[in-house]
Structure 1
Amino acid sequence: MLYPQNSADKLGFTEIKELIKAHCLSVMGQQLVDKIQVMNHFDQIQKFLSQAHEFKNILLNDAALPIQHFFDIKTLANKARVEGAFLTEEEFFQIQASLSTVFAVIGYFNEREGQYPNLEALFEHLPIERSILKKIDAVIDQKGKIRPNASRDLLEITTSIAKAEQEARRKIDQIFKSATANGWTADGSLTVRDGRLCIPVLAENKRKLKGFIHDESSSGQTVYIEPEEVFTLNNRVRDLEFERRREIVKILTALTDELRPYVPLLLSYHGLLTKLDFVRAKALFAIDIEAEMPGLVNEARVKLINARHPLLFLSFKKEQKTVVPLNVQIDDGTRVVVVSGPNAGGKSVCMKTVGLLQMMVQAGLLIPAADNSVMGVFKQLFVDIGDDQSIESDLSTYSAHLSKMKYFVEQANGKTMILIDEFGTGTDPQFGGPIAEAVLEALNHKKVRGMVTTHYSNLKIFASNAEGLENASMLFDNVEMRPMYILEVGKPGSSYAFEIAQKIGLPQNVLNLAKNKIGASQKKVDTLLVDLEREKKEIIDSRLQLDKQQRRVDILLKENEQLKNYLEENQKALIREAKQQAKNIILDANKLVENTISEIKSSQADKEKTRNLRENLNKELQKNTIVQEKPKQVAPEDDEIKPGDWVKLTDSDTTGQVMELVKDNVIIAIGDLRTVVKKKRVQRVSKKEIPKEIRKSYNTSTSDAANFSPEIDVRGMRGEEALYAIEKVLDRAIMMGYNTLKVLHGKGDGILRKLIREYLRKYEQVSHMEDEHPDRGGAGITYVYLR
């Protein structure tokens, strides 16, 4: 139940119906759209929503439904119902085309049995009576004309007409040639007058040719004569045509009599076509507004996720703008949301969005919101929006509001949704505020659901203390002094009256005078709200900064762990290799000693032989002796370290490559890490002393830097994921001295774009940002200019 009756107009539901009607193919479908009403029967709503959802899936993801012709079969069936009446050729053709569409549609769904159950229910148990088509096809051809052989008599008449016409033509051609040869005719050829073929004859020769004069030229010099012999033949043709017409009426009457028993079935086919046209129009409109089917529950609650006002969405779509999505929940815990905030901040649009989407769902229409939204079913929808003052009823604006409040309080219950805009306005705020608070308290006792908008502080305070009521505010950027159109549930909002007045340019002395006139408590409340808003923004900024630092710490810990594992693994491998080499040396030494002793014994200590064997033993000993290298000299202080040099930390064995010199500090690249140390803590080393594996990894890093592009695509990423990816690219761009960074984030609803820009403004290295040229992406791409 809607109250008042013009609620559909107030919320924009009437405009929605007009937009759906524009997609209908038939007048019958448009008539069904006019009958759309808000329902409260759960199963019925679920069925209508499912039908629209399934048809939308067909339009987007399946082969085209064979819908070609929509005619008003109902009117034709009712005409055929009357005894003695007959349908015309055109009317039989309309039935023929419509039935072909019906049978094709039924065949389409039979091929996909079970895939679209709710649409299949539209023609459940509806038979395909092809005998109707056969009867019509035997009489009417594909162009909608009666077939020449529809009956034996018609065929004979048609043949006789053709022969008579042919004979008349042959005869008049002979006479025309003879008259031309005698010079009786005027310049020209045979012509038609009064539907009869005539010969143009000069006026002075009209007595020379027997026949009937049908017309003469404007000058009177030419007369148009139908020859006497042809006149008789043409009369014969005319008589045969009358006879043919009578035979056609006889055939059509007989066909109508055959069709009469099928009238109830024709009416059923008409109903199917009408419903298909209706559901198709709803599905096409759903595609226009990017609507989805929400979850439906048989409870009085609402959970809207990323919802958009459909009319505002279509308007912004033409202007290539995006609508800020709405997220709100109304349930047992939060029954009534009290929305406050600045003027032109979007409070009314927010409330109308909730009301309009609720009406659309209960009318069986898909809504522009995420498919994980949940919509309930309300028995009543009470709306108080706009000015309903009435001269005839002697009602002022405030009286009209009070009349509605009286009805709300008396008739509302736990399954009622209320929508009240600018609650309590229209009279002295000193009295309007308490009355509004009392009405809100009475409605809350009845456990109604809904949303109200207000500027009254007493209602904000009442909502913060009353169970079931929840404050909410439309966010406002108090730095740039502009509304953000984002609903935040949990706290009231300031009206920002003085801030907006100051931005508009109201003189400061007037503002000061106004501030002195308001009460101290009121000023304190409003100031507190503004401060809360500012503090919350600071907290959010701090949290983002902490998240950024935490991510950096996590990265460093991960890289440190990887480096540690790498060193441990290499150390183990080196020790294994050293042990194996030592083992091999010992085995070789034992063999050499044993062989030497054996040969000395066999040579019986021959001096020359013994000396040679001792030299061989010394050579093998020197081959496996480690030569102690001299310590490397530290590079002299006057040997300047330059970018690109390899250096080693003096207090460890860590080596790296110099990236940049900053005063007394050196920026060193150690793998993928960058560190800053004092010059006195490093010493330059030769490139040859650096292992090839390490130099190769640095060359790879250098190659990566050469291939680095200051451009990133974050479309499809979540907010935090996108910020993390942009941060890494931004750091590299700053380090490599790039002047710009290109971020592709897409248009969508503009949420990701806004989040990215607010995040990048915190970098002091960022100079400014701007959109790409409209021809190359527009608001879907942000150019970041670096200092």
Structure 2
Amino acid sequence: MLYPNNSADKLGFTEIKELIRANCLSTMGQDMVDKIQVMINFDLISKFLHQAHEFKSILQSDEALPISSFYDIKTLANKARLEGAFLSEEEFFQIQASLTTVFAVIGYFNQRQGVYPNLEALFEHLPVEKAILKKINQVIDAKGRIRPDASRELMDITSGIARAEQDARKRIDQIFKQASANNWTADGSLTIRDGRLCIPLLAENKRKLKGFVHDESASGQTVYIEPEEVFSLNNLIRDLEFERRREIIKILTALTAELRPYVPLLLSYHSLLTKLDFVRAKALFAIQIEAEMPKVVNEAKFRLLNARHPLLFLNFKKEQKQVVPLNVSVDEGTRIIVVSGPNAGGKSVCMKTVGLLQIMAQAGLLIPAAADSVVGVFKQMFVDIGDDQSIESDLSTYSAHLSKMKKFVEDGNGKTLILIDEFGTGTDPQFGGPIAEAVLEALNNKKVRGMVTTHYSNLKIFASNSEGIENASMLFNNTEMQPLYILEVGKPGSSYAFEIAQKIGLPQNVLNLAKNKISAGQKKVDSLLVDLEREKKEIFDTKQKLDKQQRRVNTLLAENEELKTFLDENRKNLLREAKQEAKSIILNANKLVENTIAEIKSSNADKEVTKNLRENLNNEIKKNTVKPEAPKKQPIQDEEIKAGDWVKLIDGDTTGQVMEVIKDNVVIAMGDLRTVVKKKRVERVSKASVPKEIRRSNNQTGDLANFSPEIDVRGMRTEDALHSIEKLFDRALMMGFGNLKIIHGKGDGILRKMIRQYLKKYDQVERMEDEHPDRGGDGITYVHLK
């Protein structure tokens, strides 16, 4: 799978395993980490990745998994398997603690059935045999000691020992008081010698007390005697203790025999604990390197987005630096990428990142790349990095490279990933270049995938003229003479040899001499590459500015379209209401006229009655007559409009609230809509004259005076916190705020990471930074908007 055998070391995979190993709780988990291998089985890779992803979700978003004890119960189960053998109190305690953990874990997942299907599969069909735990609990207490009531005989023996100890102590206290009264004792109190309680006597009085001399002082003036009566009692205690030990062994042997039928189940429990420890360690490491689960496909290809080298990421994290992310893809169309560019520009790191992340993914590890990255499955990975010269094999550096090229060309195929650093170096460039080109052509013909780094111009030319091979370069700021560590696919890069030499300080006369020694054609090619790179950088910067402006234009167009729709809808509503009101007026007028005529007839056209009826008719006509509007007053230009004022369009009845004043323009909020108009097109109105519906609509969306660009998400679940931040972010963009303040607290830093990772996907975010250490430090994030 991996060739040569030290490829994992050269790519840094061995270091990755050591970092994962440090997260294990048990030696069994560490042993599993040591056995991590690169897999080629698509289903296994997918299963292991999903397990790590689910455990990562538990660590970040769910209650803590009840994992407290991990012991090697496999060894204990194998010991219990032997007839006549018995487990000690400590060993039973380890089984007891481990089973408690197993049952708690199974209960945890049963409560979340279907949420973590790949982790649930670890204990699928595994029974919860609590009878084992019940039998152990009857004999072993919570502190790992045998219970005094484990058997009737043990209780009797324990009681006998307690009585004998009490009698012995009582008797020796009496003898000690009597000896002290007779002034036989030396200074001091009762003391222990050879495990026995003794009385310190002056040497001249040792024959005045019958007993056994256990020791004497260094000067010989004090002897330590165990009285004869107490000696007999202590011997009795010793005999009882031996008897107690025999009874305990008898109990433990019986308990072991009861446990023996469950040995296969204990081994299954051991396997579950080991796998959980292993997956937990992988998930913890994924959080440390901010890794995600990529999409896995059963094809020989990959597409890495915002990928970072995990070891470089951890080192930079300590120094509070940021790793420049890598974006690269290899598929059927672009099989091999030839990376060129200046020394120390990041070519090797770029290639090692691709190799290491591919190995990690095929080993079932989450990778530090965007979640929409794609990782395929390669049957073989061939690596040529570094100097492999060998004194024992009589191989030079170049010979070692050629040996690998022979292997690559012979065994490579469409499911092989190759990584070659400094392709063709180690010999005369006049010959090394053509050989490297021939090898590259042979590899391309065999449809292998991979990445190579080089400085050879002939390889750059060959790549540009060959189907399936693509040039790429590491960008370089030739103004400041600094590498940008950005991979750009599509064109070769210059080595910037003369520019770097000049910056380092090589004498100008030496540089001129060197320039005169290269061909005119090579000079033109290198100069052209430098100019192309400079122009590409300028185009890239201009494109970013245009994209930003285009996004702004699209936003304004969408707002105008919404405003037009809003106004058209209002116009339709007003017309509909006006027509309905006119219809009602006409109906009422007809009724009034008919009634008036009827009353005139009934009064025989009496003058007084007719006069009154006519006045009523005229009053009704005046009531429904629309008065001509007074000419609109021009707004007073001296009356300054400011944010928070209510204004009305002069050429319409649209009313809104001023959000911001920008030179001769004002930004007006009308409910959820925002529009920009000239100052001279609006006039200020009183808040009371604004309809309640419009005021309420503006209040609901939050006017500028009440909006605060600060949010406190401490104590929230991750999903709730991100939802609240998203709402605040949208309103801030809509109102044109320049920055946000998010208070998330410190804790383990997980919420802070999730928030920052979530906000990175927005183009409107320019940068994020911590608050000043005196005012909260990394417990608060400032988000600066473009």
How would you bin the TM-score normalised by the shorter chain? 0.7 to 0.9
Counterpart position of 1:222: 222
Q: 1:510 to 1:549 in 2, by over 3 A?
A: farther
Matched, 1:412 2:448: no
Counterpart position of 1:284: 284
Question: How many angstroms apart in 1 are the aligned matches of 2:595 and 2:145?
Answer: 115
Query: Which deviates more from structure 2 when the two are superposed, residues 701-710 or residues 415-424?
Result: 701-710
Counterpart position of 2:757: 748
Matched, 1:32 2:18: no
Matched, 1:462 2:462: yes
Question: How many angstroms apart in 2 are the aligned matches of 1:698 and 1:123?
Answer: 60
Counterpart amino acid of residue 748 in structure 1: Q
Q: 1:494 to 1:559 in 2, by over 3 A?
A: farther
Question: How many angstroms apart in 2 are the aligned matches of 1:557 and 1:112?
Answer: 47
Per-residue Cα deviation, 1:577-606 (whole angstroms, up to 9, x for no partner) = 56765776677567667867886x656xxx
Counterpart position of 2:302: 302
How far residue 446 of structure 1 moved from its aligned partner, in angstroms, is 0.8
Matched, 1:781 2:782: yes
Counterpart position of 2:745: none
Q: 1:29 to 1:590 in 2, by over 3 A?
A: closer
Question: How many angstroms apart in 1 are the aligned matches of 2:661 and 2:210?
Answer: 121
Q: 1:437 to 1:620 in 2, by over 3 A?
A: same
Q: Does the 8 Å CA contact 1:325/1:749 hold for their aligned counterparts?
A: no
Counterpart position of 1:6: 6
How far residue 261 of structure 1 moved from its aligned partner, in angstroms, is 6.0
Q: Does the 8 Å CA contact 2:193/2:224 hold for their aligned counterparts?
A: yes
Counterpart position of 1:606: none
Query: Which deviates more from structure 2 when the two are superposed, residues 174-183 or residues 477-486?
Result: 477-486
5+ residue gaps, structure 2: 713-720, 743-751
Per-residue Cα deviation, 1:696-722 (whole angstroms, up to 9, x for no partner) = 979999995655778899x979xx999
Counterpart position of 2:559: 555
Per-residue Cα deviation, 1:454-499 (whole angstroms, up to 9, x for no partner) = 3444333333332222333444566766555444444444555566
Counterpart amino acid of residue 183 in structure 2: G
Counterpart amino acid of residue 409 in structure 1: V
Question: How many angstroms apart in 1 are the aligned matches of 2:25 and 2:557?
Answer: 63
Q: Does the 8 Å CA contact 2:389/2:395 hold for their aligned counterparts?
A: yes
Matched, 1:273 2:273: yes
Question: How many angstroms apart in 1 are the aligned matches of 2:262 and 2:665?
Answer: 96
Aligned sequence identity (%): 63
Query: Which deviates more from structure 2 when the two are superposed, residues 245-254 or residues 184-193?
Result: 245-254
Matched, 1:523 2:527: yes
Counterpart amino acid of residue 553 in structure 2: Q
Alignment of 1:344-355 (within 5 A): 344-355=344-355
How far residue 441 of structure 1 moved from its aligned partner, in angstroms, is 1.2
Counterpart position of 1:311: 311
Q: 1:434 to 1:225 in 2, by over 3 A?
A: same
Using the size of structure 2 for normalisation, the TM-score is 0.78
Q: Secondary structure at the match of 2:757?
A: coil
Counterpart position of 1:70: 70
Per-residue Cα deviation, 1:613-642 (whole angstroms, up to 9, x for no partner) = 679958976995789989969989xx9865
Counterpart amino acid of residue 300 in structure 1: A
Question: How many angstroms apart in 2 are the aligned matches of 1:341 and 1:184?
Answer: 97
Counterpart amino acid of residue 471 in structure 2: N
How far residue 21 of structure 1 moved from its aligned partner, in angstroms, is 1.4
Alignment of 1:303-382 (within 5 A): 303-382=303-382
Q: Secondary structure at the match of 1:329?
A: strand
Counterpart amino acid of residue 362 in structure 2: Q
Counterpart position of 1:235: 235
Question: How many angstroms apart in 2 are the aligned matches of 1:527 and 1:215?
Answer: 96
Counterpart position of 1:762: none
Question: How many angstroms apart in 1 are the aligned matches of 2:112 and 2:705?
Answer: 56
Question: How many angstroms apart in 2 are the aligned matches of 1:468 and 1:290?
Answer: 33
Question: How many angstroms apart in 2 are the aligned matches of 1:646 and 1:34?
Answer: 70
How far residue 33 of structure 1 moved from its aligned partner, in angstroms, is 1.6
How far residue 49 of structure 1 moved from its aligned partner, in angstroms, is 3.1
Q: Does the 8 Å CA contact 2:764/2:785 hold for their aligned counterparts?
A: no
Q: 1:589 to 1:670 in 2, by over 3 A?
A: farther
Counterpart position of 2:435: 435
Using the size of structure 1 for normalisation, the TM-score is 0.78
Query: Which deviates more from structure 2 when the two are superposed, residues 578-587 or residues 338-347?
Result: 578-587
Q: 1:223 to 1:339 in 2, by over 3 A?
A: same
Query: Which deviates more from structure 2 when the two are superposed, residues 70-79 or residues 151-160?
Result: 151-160
Counterpart position of 1:764: none
Counterpart amino acid of residue 189 in structure 1: S
Alignment of 1:705-724 (within 5 A): 706=705
CA RMSD of aligned residues (A): 5.1
Counterpart position of 2:197: 197
Counterpart position of 2:718: none
Question: How many angstroms apart in 1 are the aligned matches of 2:266 and 2:372?
Answer: 41
Q: 1:179 to 1:441 in 2, by over 3 A?
A: same
Q: 1:620 to 1:509 in 2, by over 3 A?
A: farther
Q: 1:724 to 1:527 in 2, by over 3 A?
A: farther
Query: Which deviates more from structure 2 when the two are superposed, residues 8-17 or residues 426-435?
Result: 426-435
Q: Does the 8 Å CA contact 2:669/2:698 hold for their aligned counterparts?
A: no
How far residue 327 of structure 1 moved from its aligned partner, in angstroms, is 3.4
Per-residue Cα deviation, 1:479-534 (whole angstroms, up to 9, x for no partner) = 76655544444444455556666777778887777666552233224323432332
Matched, 1:541 2:542: no
Q: 1:590 to 1:262 in 2, by over 3 A?
A: closer
Q: Secondary structure at the match of 2:366?
A: coil
5+ residue gaps, structure 1: 604-608, 734-739, 759-768
Q: Secondary structure at the match of 1:389?
A: coil
Q: 1:88 to 1:585 in 2, by over 3 A?
A: closer
Q: Does the 8 Å CA contact 2:647/2:685 hold for their aligned counterparts?
A: no
Alignment of 1:570-719 (within 5 A): 570=574, 573=577, 577=581, 643=640, 673-676=675-678, 692=689, 704=703, 706=705
Q: Does the 8 Å CA contact 2:294/2:369 hold for their aligned counterparts?
A: yes
Question: How many angstroms apart in 2 are the aligned matches of 1:421 and 1:376?
Answer: 22
Q: 1:465 to 1:225 in 2, by over 3 A?
A: same
Q: 1:233 to 1:402 in 2, by over 3 A?
A: same
How far residue 16 of structure 1 moved from its aligned partner, in angstroms, is 1.3
Q: Does the 8 Å CA contact 2:340/2:472 hold for their aligned counterparts?
A: yes
Q: Does the 8 Å CA contact 1:322/1:747 hold for their aligned counterparts?
A: no
Counterpart amino acid of residue 339 in structure 1: V
Question: How many angstroms apart in 2 are the aligned matches of 1:701 and 1:41?
Answer: 59
Question: How many angstroms apart in 1 are the aligned matches of 2:255 and 2:614?
Answer: 125
Q: Secondary structure at the match of 2:69?
A: coil
Question: How many angstroms apart in 2 are the aligned matches of 1:134 and 1:657?
Answer: 74
Counterpart position of 2:748: none
Matched, 1:449 2:449: yes
Instruction: Count residues with an aligned counterpart.
Output: 748
Query: Which deviates more from structure 2 when the two are superposed, residues 443-452 or residues 771-780?
Result: 771-780
Q: Does the 8 Å CA contact 2:475/2:533 hold for their aligned counterparts?
A: no
Question: How many angstroms apart in 1 are the aligned matches of 2:460 and 2:272?
Answer: 53
Per-residue Cα deviation, 1:259-286 (whole angstroms, up to 9, x for no partner) = 5666555544444433333233223323
Q: 1:675 to 1:508 in 2, by over 3 A?
A: farther
Counterpart amino acid of residue 277 in structure 1: D
Q: Which has the larger radius of gyration?
A: 1
Per-residue Cα deviation, 1:542-587 (whole angstroms, up to 9, x for no partner) = 3432443344344345434544554565466557656765776677
Question: How many angstroms apart in 1 are the aligned matches of 2:632 and 2:279?
Answer: 88
Q: Does the 8 Å CA contact 1:340/1:454 hold for their aligned counterparts?
A: yes
Counterpart position of 2:715: none
How far residue 776 of structure 1 moved from its aligned partner, in angstroms, is 5.3
How far residue 447 of structure 1 moved from its aligned partner, in angstroms, is 0.8
Q: Does the 8 Å CA contact 1:324/1:751 hold for their aligned counterparts?
A: no
Q: 1:524 to 1:640 in 2, by over 3 A?
A: closer
Q: Does the 8 Å CA contact 2:657/2:669 hold for their aligned counterparts?
A: no
Counterpart amino acid of residue 211 in structure 2: G
Counterpart amino acid of residue 542 in structure 2: E
Q: 1:641 to 1:241 in 2, by over 3 A?
A: closer
Question: How many angstroms apart in 1 are the aligned matches of 2:306 and 2:424?
Answer: 30
Question: How many angstroms apart in 1 are the aligned matches of 2:263 and 2:46?
Answer: 32
How far residue 305 of structure 1 moved from its aligned partner, in angstroms, is 3.7
Question: How many angstroms apart in 2 are the aligned matches of 1:602 and 1:152?
Answer: 127
